[in-house]
Chains A and B, each alone.
Chain A
Amino acid sequence: MWAALTILAAALLGQAPLHDSQYSDADISYGATLYASKCVACHGTQGDGIGGVNLRSGNFRNAVIDRDLERFIRAGSPAGMPAFALDNAEMAGIIAYLRNMNAFDNATVKTGDAVRGRALMDGKGACMQCHRIGATGSRVAPDLSEIGSARSAGSLQRSLVDPNSQMMPINRPVRIVKKDGTIINGRRLNEDTYTVQIIDDHERLHSLQKADVRELTISTTSPMPSYKSTLSEGEIADVLAYLLSLKGQQP
């Protein structure tokens, strides 16, 4: 199913397929055991143990096709990753796993038709009034152009029916009252000890010194509605198929 989805995604986005082979379940599970023995110490169970590297996305800057990935793993990186002398079966396994790390809970999720899903997002779901994909939609809610790489199928499905449960903490809505009385409502983009960065309801970027802020309220309630009652199960499956196809722009 995964490979089928990928090809579908490629077709939808008018691009060549990202993956140059299909991955068997056996390879993926063999790869998972290799990952647990050789990679997890640095890359972590979630694949994001190294800053700036997210293995779960299945997409890599320096390794577009599997042969690149193989070369990278064999050579190592001057930034500290050692070279790994894997045999062919091990290499096939680890690549299969890396390309599918994010798909761990696919089996529990029903996906439908991505083309219908796209139409639902534009129309009945009114998703694009807040979200953005590629060059269309609003920037108020998180950009979904690469959501199929960033989230698992299970997480996306739960997000559609129970948005609060899946809202990444960084994306929490903020309400700011500045010392001069100005009120700004928006979504958090980043925060540190002294400052906070947000995008407001009018798609404006703000970076504020906390010293200039009278009130900073961070909500754990997502502004996104649940689609549990407004979309049918089949429609949710369609939307899910479309979301999973969104892998961003490939080089």
Chain B
Amino acid sequence: MTGNRRALAVCLVCLLALFSYRVHGQITSQRLTAAPDEPQNWLMYSGNYSSTRYSPLNQITPANVKNLKLQWVYQSPVAGDWETSPLVVDGIMYITQRLNDVVALDATTGRTFWIYRYTPAQDRIVCCRANNRGLAILGDTLFMGTLDAQLIAIDAKTGHQLWKSEVASTKSGYSITLAPLVVKDKVIVGVGGGEYGIRGFIAAYDVATGREAWRFYTIPAPGEPGSETWQRCPPDSKGFCDPDAWKHGGGSIWLTGSYDPKLNLTYWGVGNVGPDYNGAQRPGDNLYTDSVVALDADTGKLKWHYQFTPHDVYDYDSVQIPVLIDRWDGSSINVIAWANRNGNFYVIDRATGRFLVGKPFVKVNWMSGFDERGRPKQTPQADGQATFPGNQGGTNWYSPSYSPRANLFYISAWEDYGSIYSPAPSEYKTGTNFTGGGPRNLSAVPGAPGLGRAPINTWTEAAGHGAILALDPGTGREKWKFKMTDVTDAGILTTASDLLFAGGREGYFQALNARTGELLWKTQLGAAIMSGPISFRVGNKQYVSVVSGVSLFVFGVDE
């Protein structure tokens, strides 16, 4: 390259830099791909396409974290468990609040720019405390899925609705609770409703028009690949067996997937099969329930899948956030690391779907090991005996984190927690509960209180406890454990200064040393923390925010 040409090239780079400065606020697809390069922002649910919930910011350190001070609080008007994870774009925070409002706030003061209000249909059918977990953004447009299964585009400057598309029928039990994922010119969502006999799917919509671009059903129709895992009812079947089980086989999608721009594959965790507990009425492995699916981001075509829990009868949804790790364990393999609700930690080659590691991280007795292809050897427990982990799982929808600095994978886990399952026939009826029986906690006293998120921990050590686990992603071995008395539904954030932030049901928000698990700082926020913390920077100041109860708290270190 001659000197002149080099100067020209440098100049072009300058121009490009200038251009991107001029479109400040415009979130391009390139910016989403390069999200780690702008650590001041939090541009998608898990922070980046690899879903590591890792912030490259390092102003808050193990040395000064004890000086963290509350900067502001935003209080939501609607009571109930609040699971949202905010976006932060160039000093503006966007959050969803129950049921389906969107709020734009000054990220340094908490003052509100605008509120978009959406009232989901009164006859909506949605399970499990009716949550919304957040937004996606592209350009100046925010995207939100709703409890009545609509996808809505909103102007990020004004809060006005741009378009609304029906993703599915709420009357049939479909809902959207996850934060969408934008990939190039499409916004991708999946549907909830696993307890209502839906047929789950992931679908992509044109960001400009809301028109559906592709749809991948998580339950194949007869004749499609995978349909052979929905077996015919045996002729001598004495129990209640459903020849049309696939039509309401569940496979809900209720947490945001990940994206590998180089492979152009998007990865999604698929929920449990319906009915949840009565396996007899749906013989077979029941693909693609309890699986990770790798889809071509342009077409929605299935590239590969791996099923964590074939023929699940424990409600082991595999919707967990797929965490992408490059050059795994010093190798050249790029992988997905996955702590599953079924109690096992997995590593999967994300180009091929090859099973690399499977290892329990909590007590597991529903299986006793894997064959060479990663299929679990299932060991069903006798009637009335407890299955570990219990139906809420060894972990669940709580965001994990991966720190590339520490090379550790972090999860919120429930230890010593089991359930006794009682399957029962369940006839499908549109829009009604379709679980096929139910589990109860293994507890010292029959009839003892269940898993309430009340300020009093009534079930105590008798039924289990929570922990933050740091796992070596190479082996799945535990590096350290931070034990809690109550269980935890909180997500985890790690930062480039080796800090780990997490909460739990007890309402403490705490900072640990990410390398050792040592407690460095804690504060009591007054109610269960049920979402993942985020970090962002405005001006020269780093902030950490977390939702507890009906309030969003933002902390920073004052100079």
* Interface residues of A, Cβ cutoff 8 Å to B: 36-42, 44-46, 48-52, 54, 76, 78-83, 85, 151-152, 155, 165-170, 172, 188-194, 218, 220
13 contacts between A and B (CB under 8 A): A38-B433, A39-B433, A41-B433, A42-B129, A49-B450, A49-B452, A76-B122, A78-B99, A80-B98, A82-B122, A169-B462, A172-B460, A190-B455
Q: Which of B124, B429, B432, B485 has the most CB of A within 10 A?
A: B485
Assess A41 versus B445: contact at CB under 8 Å? Given A80-B98, A80-B130, A170-B456.
no
Assess A79 versus B79: contact at CB under 8 Å? Given A45-B440, A192-B485, A192-B486.
yes
Cβ–Cβ < 8 Å partners of B7 in chain A:
none
Q: Are B129's CB and A191's CB within 8 A?
A: no
User: Closest B-chain residue to A49, C-beta based?
Assistant: B450
Q: Are A194's CB and B450's CB within 8 A?
A: no
Cβ–Cβ < 8 Å partners of B126 in chain A:
82
User: Would you call B454 an interface residue if the criterion is a C-beta within 8 Å of the partner chain's C-beta atoms?
Assistant: yes
Please pick, from A37, A52, A78, A218, the residue contacting B429 in the complex, using a CB distance under 8 A.
Answer: A37
Q: Are A220's CB and B454's CB within 8 A?
A: no
Residues of chain B in range 433-456 having any CB-CB distance to chain A below 8 Å? 433-435, 438-440, 443-456
Q: Are A51's CB and B78's CB within 8 A?
A: no
Q: Are B122's CB and A48's CB within 8 A?
A: no
User: Would you call B378 an interface residue if the criterion is a C-beta within 8 Å of the partner chain's C-beta atoms?
Assistant: no
Give Cα A54 to B450, complex, Å. Answer: 10
Q: Are A190's CB and B122's CB within 8 A?
A: no
Please pick, from B78, B98, B125, B460, the residue contacting A170 in the complex, using a CB distance under 8 A.
Answer: B460
User: Would you call B459 an interface residue if the criterion is a C-beta within 8 Å of the partner chain's C-beta atoms?
Assistant: yes
Assess A46 versus B450: contact at CB under 8 Å? Given A41-B195, A85-B123.
yes
Cβ–Cβ < 8 Å partners of B127 in chain A:
41-42
Residues of chain B in range 112-153 having any CB-CB distance to chain A below 8 Å? 122-130
Cβ–Cβ < 8 Å partners of A151 in chain B:
447
Interface SS of chain B: helix, strand, loop or mixed?
loop
User: Would you call B463 an interface residue if the criterion is a C-beta within 8 Å of the partner chain's C-beta atoms?
Assistant: yes
Q: Which of B433, B451, B456, B504 has the most CB of A within 10 A?
A: B433
Closest chain-A Cβ to B26's Cβ sits at a distance in Å of 35
User: Would you call B166 an interface residue if the criterion is a C-beta within 8 Å of the partner chain's C-beta atoms?
Assistant: no
Residues of chain B in range 150-199 having any CB-CB distance to chain A below 8 Å? 195-196
List 20 additional A-B contacts (Cβ < 8 Å) besides A46-B440, A51-B453, A189-B456. A36-B433, A36-B438, A37-B432, A40-B435, A40-B438, A41-B195, A41-B433, A42-B127, A51-B454, A52-B454, A79-B79, A82-B123, A85-B123, A152-B447, A155-B445, A165-B445, A167-B445, A169-B460, A170-B460, A192-B457
Q: Which of B80, B126, B486 has the most CB of A within 10 A?
A: B80
Q: Are B485's CB and A191's CB within 8 A?
A: yes
Interface size class of B (residues with CB under 8 A): 35 or more
Q: Are B80's CB and A80's CB within 8 A?
A: yes
User: Would you call B298 an interface residue if the criterion is a C-beta within 8 Å of the partner chain's C-beta atoms?
Assistant: no
User: Would you call B458 an interface residue if the criterion is a C-beta within 8 Å of the partner chain's C-beta atoms?
Assistant: yes
Please pick, from B99, B122, B446, B528, the residue contacting A83 in the complex, using a CB distance under 8 A.
Answer: B122
Assess A83 versus B123: contact at CB under 8 Å? Given A51-B81, A51-B453.
yes
Assess A169 versus B454: contact at CB under 8 Å? Given A46-B447, A194-B508, A220-B444.
no
Q: Which of B128, B450, B506 has the most CB of A within 10 A?
A: B450
Closest chain-A Cβ to B131's Cβ sits at a distance in Å of 8
User: Would you call B483 an interface residue if the criterion is a C-beta within 8 Å of the partner chain's C-beta atoms?
Assistant: yes
Cβ–Cβ < 8 Å partners of B296 in chain A:
none
Give Cα A29 to B157, complex, Å. Answer: 54
Cβ–Cβ < 8 Å partners of B125 in chain A:
82
Residues of chain B in range 68-97 having any CB-CB distance to chain A below 8 Å? 78-81
User: Closest A-chain residue to B449, C-beta based?
Assistant: A48
User: Would you call B484 an interface residue if the criterion is a C-beta within 8 Å of the partner chain's C-beta atoms?
Assistant: yes
Please pick, from A48, A169, A218, the residue contacting B445 in the complex, using a CB distance under 8 A.
Answer: A169
Please pick, from A42, A152, A167, A192, the residue contacting B506 in the complex, using a CB distance under 8 A.
Answer: A192
Please pick, from A45, A48, A83, A193, the residue contacting B485 in the complex, using a CB distance under 8 A.
Answer: A193
Give Cα A169 to B130, complex, Å. Answer: 30
Closest chain-B Cβ to A176's Cβ sits at a distance in Å of 15
Interface string of B459-495 (1 = CB under 8 A from A): 1111100000000000000000001111000000000
Assess A169 versus B447: contact at CB under 8 Å? Given A37-B429, A48-B452, A51-B452.
no
Cβ–Cβ < 8 Å partners of A42 in chain B:
127-129
